[in-house]
Amino acid sequence: MTALTKKHRFDEVYDAQKVYRLLLTAVSNPAKSVNIREYAEKLYGAHPAMLTLAFTLLDNEVGFSVLEDEALAGDIACLTLSREAEPEEADYLFVTDPSLLEDAVRRAKCGTLRDPHRSATLIVECAGRAGLFLRLAGPGIGEASEFSVTETVKTALEFRDKQCYEAPCGIDFVFVSEDGGLLALPRLVRREAR
């Protein structure tokens, strides 16, 4: 009899719980960066940090979409048993190429006034160093404060602002870097003029 072996060392229960707690910290403290590198290093592929979040958030009850990255889409479907959906219907959209960000924001579901929680979460891989300063305000931030962000984060927020969502509708962002840095900006966090 041949024994099955996993290709990765990520524990679907314990590691996923730890990543989920870090993600909750990031969501409840917008613009506070956490790091999931320790867990991402346990996975294979070109986008281990994205797979770490997929393992943590997805199951067979939700739909996901990966814009123009078939390898990542296949890995996510295989590892999570989640169903692949069109971007307009997906609960989670994975974006590995910043040039696809505008299309992803435009196509993502934003919830309704009755059910704002039926919106999408965009998980965006971003490269580069934080160095641009944005003034952000919203739940979890307190007084409007300036935060250092990457160009991808700034661009994503600009695209989201162009959509003119009626509160409390909108889309949530989770930005993750190749080195495991993670930043969450929920739908009610907004840019403010300096």
Q: Is the pLDDT of residue 183 over 90?
A: yes
Helices (H) and strands (E) in the chain, counts: 6, 10
Q: How far apart are CA 86 and CA 66, in angstroms?
A: 9
pLDDT (tens digit per residue) in 20-48:
999 999 999 987 889 999 999 999 889 99
Q: Are 49 and 36 in contact (CB under 8 A)?
A: yes
AA letter at 164: C
Q: Is the pLDDT of residue 145 over 90?
A: no
Instruction: Residues 14-192: name the CATH superfamily.
Output: Bacterial phosphonate metabolism protein PhnH (3.40.50.11310)
pTM strictly above 0.75: yes
pLDDT at 2: 59
Distance CA(20)–CA(55), nearest Å, equals 10
